[in-house]
A and B are shown apart, each in its own frame.
Chain A
Amino acid sequence: MAAGLKLKQVKKAYGSVQVLHGIDLDIKSGEFVVFVGPSGCGKSTLLRLIAGLEDITEGTLEIGGTVVNTLPPSKRGIAMVFQSYALYPHMTVYENMAFGLKLAKALPGEQDKRVREAAEMLQITPYLDRLPKQLSGGQRQRVAIGRAIVRDPKVFLFDEPLSNLDAALRVATRLEIAKLHERMADTTMIYVTHDQVEAMTLADRIVVLNYGVVEQVGTPMELYHTPDNLFVARFIGSPAMNIVSATITSAGAPATVQPDTGNPVTVNADVAATYLDAKATFGVRPEDLTPTDGPGLFTGTVSIVEKLGEVTLVYLDTGLPDPITVKIDGDVDIAKGARLSVTAPADRLHLFDENGVAFPRMRLSRAAE
């Protein structure tokens, strides 16, 4: 019952408004793929194209090896969980879950078995006779998931299923979905969210979208450690990566750059000689910076200190347009107004060219640092 997906140059336009500009994706059977991206980038649209709720303007979509461009949603072997749950308000939980099966003329015994199994799995058996309005948001969401499970889909689609839940329930339901994926290991899952934590924790692979274009596809750790471009670098990770504009002063591997203020910096990137004297940006994640006594990467005055208990966020005013964010473990005593130098290991620095594309990373052994 497994199926992979293949998208080839999928485009979508509403009238003259181009929303998706040629998406190429290869999703393996049984994979958990998460679409992330800023609001309005086309995540939902892409999901709805896969579901068949919207027509594909151009390109082909294959599910399980067959082109399904013109197949209606019910014939694509998919199930979808909507952000708003979209339960039938006048039917009980049981009827909601059985509705599709009943009309597909499944045997009554089989129907009942599947509904009860799904209900058991999601612990909603006690509510089977209730109407959706008599359930809490979390329970409704589980019914919506249950209705999808009952369809026994090859591909499971989620559109921001947790965004209407409160923080605690979101964590709990996230774990439920992770467990669900384990239990339904053959089922391909595609999940839309703009919550980074959901993306990082649930995904086998993440697809980062921006303005209808795929910016990068990779495992959460690939995206975190080796972002392909500035957009992904800034989008993944919280607080966002510090970005400093600089000039390349020596090409090769490693290369050296001169930031707008401060000392030259050596970056573990492979920079071709043609880039000498070119403008570039280098980035470093707040959690990779540590205070140092020596001459660090950045030196400045502490402008704001935010204590979160597990970490302390320090904002350094270094004379650059944006303050440098430093994330230090634990509750450390740093006073506002103090001078502070921070540094980071060279292999934790990221270098991007003028167009925001990352330079290839140098392969180096950790011992060399």
Chain B
Amino acid sequence: MASTQSTIRIVPTGHAKRARSELMRQRLRAAGWFLVPMLVALAIVAGWPLLRTIYFSFTNASLTNLYGAELIGFKNYLNWTVLKSGRVIWSGLLADPVWWNAVWNTVRFSVISVTLETILGTVVALVLNAEFKGRGIVRAAILIPWAIPTIVSARMWGWMLNDQFGIINDVLLMFGLIDHKIAWTASSDTAMIAVLIVDVWKTTPFMALLILAGLQMVPRDIYEAAAIDGVHPVKTFWRVTLPLVRPALMVAVIFRLLDAMRIFDLIYVLTPNSSQTKTISVLARENLIDFDKFAYGSAQSTMLFLIIALMTILYIWLGKVRFDGGDR
């Protein structure tokens, strides 16, 4: 919704007075000066590393030989050699099963976690939007998981999920839900589930707050009008509340989706070395540092950047089409 409103177009008219265009020039100049510090900061902390990474992805750089690297074109992405027997051997990122496994893990993780967080976040937001005693305290308390640094919460959950000492196994055993202790983070069947549990626990509050902000924009008397119209509360949610918070919801979902696509810290700490949970970021770091394949890791990072950029562009484009006349 912001995207449709924030465009200010200056239409020059033939008979515009000189004084007026001078004023406009002054304004543009002032605006420029305000923007410069931020543009410089962005260029240093985001632009330069990005360009370097993209550059390295086209070289044969290694950690030990960063500056003597030579350009090798797209070989890190895709390359083939024709053997004497006539067989073609493909190599490079796009032919690497480990890469595709990481892509699959990343997508699977993002879609499942964001879906769960959206649903739970909406439920939490609806509860927090209702009036009850101590609402302010609950609103603050619900943010705690989000405020704890990921490394800390990952370690904490790591212990809670531990197969020998973990409280979660204890509790589940006590209620008879499992018959033996499970190594949640180590077992290949449950590693992804463990990661999802922790991420949902950590990020649902953020979702809830974003959605709550949207819910608070819906005036109370619209609900009252619906009550007088005799609309069942569940119907009111689907037919009135949801359409009205959709713009806020979409923003929240896209934020979370982009964030989830580059998940690193949680997985790095909670389930290191599990191929079940290795995401693109984790894999890229492994190549950059551990395997001394700096260029290859750069190519993976660049691909991740492209995927995220593509999703953002797609979202903005879809958003524009959808919101024209759709919202208020």
Contact = CB atoms under 8 A, between A and B. Distances in A.
Contacts of B219: 84, 86
Given A100-B231, A103-B232, A131 B225 contact: no
A90 B244 contact: yes
Given A88-B240, A89-B244, A90-B328, A74 B224 contact: no
Among B221, B232, B243, B326, residue most surrounded by chain A Cβ atoms (within 10 Å): B221
B289 to A, nearest CB: 50
Nearest to B222: A86
B222 A133 contact: no
A73 B221 CA distance: 13
B228 A78 contact: yes
B235 interface: yes
Contacts of A133: 328
Interface string A68-92: 0000111100111010101111100
A86 B225 contact: yes
B229 A103 contact: yes
A15 to B, nearest CB: 11
B328 A74 contact: no
A90 B327 contact: yes
A24 B266 CA distance: 65
A308 interface: no
Contacts of A78: 228
B230 A104 contact: yes
Contacts of B134: none
Interface residues of B, number: 21
Nearest to B243: A90
Nearest to B220: A86
B197 interface: no
Interface string B306-326: 000000000000000000011
B229 A100 contact: yes
B227 interface: yes
Given A53-B224, A103-B235, A90 B326 contact: yes
A79 B244 contact: no
B230 A100 contact: yes
Contacts of B222: 86, 88-89
B173 to A, nearest CB: 47
Interface residues of A, number: 25
Nearest to B224: A53
Contacts of B327: 89-90
B228 A73 contact: yes
Contacts, number: 66
Chain B residues touching A, majority SS? helix
B328 A51 contact: no
A127 interface: no
A293 to B, nearest CB: 59
A99 interface: yes
Nearest to B223: A86
Given A100-B230, A104-B230, A88 B235 contact: no
B280 to A, nearest CB: 38
B221 A82 contact: yes
A72 B232 CA distance: 11
A151 interface: yes
A74 B239 CA distance: 17
B224 A82 contact: yes
Interface in B74-93: none
Among A78, A90, A147, residue most surrounded by chain B Cβ atoms (within 10 Å): A90
A99 B221 contact: no
B166 to A, nearest CB: 46
A51 B225 CA distance: 11
A53 B227 contact: yes
A80 B240 CA distance: 18
A317 to B, nearest CB: 48
Interface in B222-256: 222, 224-232, 235, 239-240, 243-244
Interface in B201-233: 219, 221-222, 224-232
A87 B223 CA distance: 10
A74 B221 contact: no
Contacts of B240: 88
Contact of A99 (B231, B244, B326, B328): B231
A319 to B, nearest CB: 51
B325 A51 contact: no
Given A88-B222, A103-B235, A72 B227 contact: yes
A72 B221 CA distance: 16
Contacts of A103: 229-232, 235
Among B225, B231, B232, residue most surrounded by chain A Cβ atoms (within 10 Å): B225
A99 B222 CA distance: 13
A78 B244 CA distance: 26
B224 to A, nearest CB: 5
Nearest to B227: A73
A128 B228 CA distance: 21
B228 A79 contact: yes
B221 A86 contact: yes
Contacts of B243: 90
Contacts of A51: 224, 228
A87 B228 CA distance: 12
A90 B241 CA distance: 10
A89 B225 CA distance: 12
8 nearest A-B residue pairs (beta carbon): A74-B230, A100-B229, A86-B221, A86-B225, A89-B328, A90-B243, A73-B228, A82-B221
Interface of B: 219, 221-222, 224-232, 235, 239-240, 243-244, 325-328
7 contacts: A73-B224, A73-B228, A82-B221, A86-B224, A88-B222, A90-B326, A90-B327
Given A72-B230, A84-B221, A88-B240, 10 more contacts: A52-B227, A72-B227, A74-B231, A80-B224, A82-B224, A84-B219, A87-B225, A89-B222, A99-B239, A100-B231
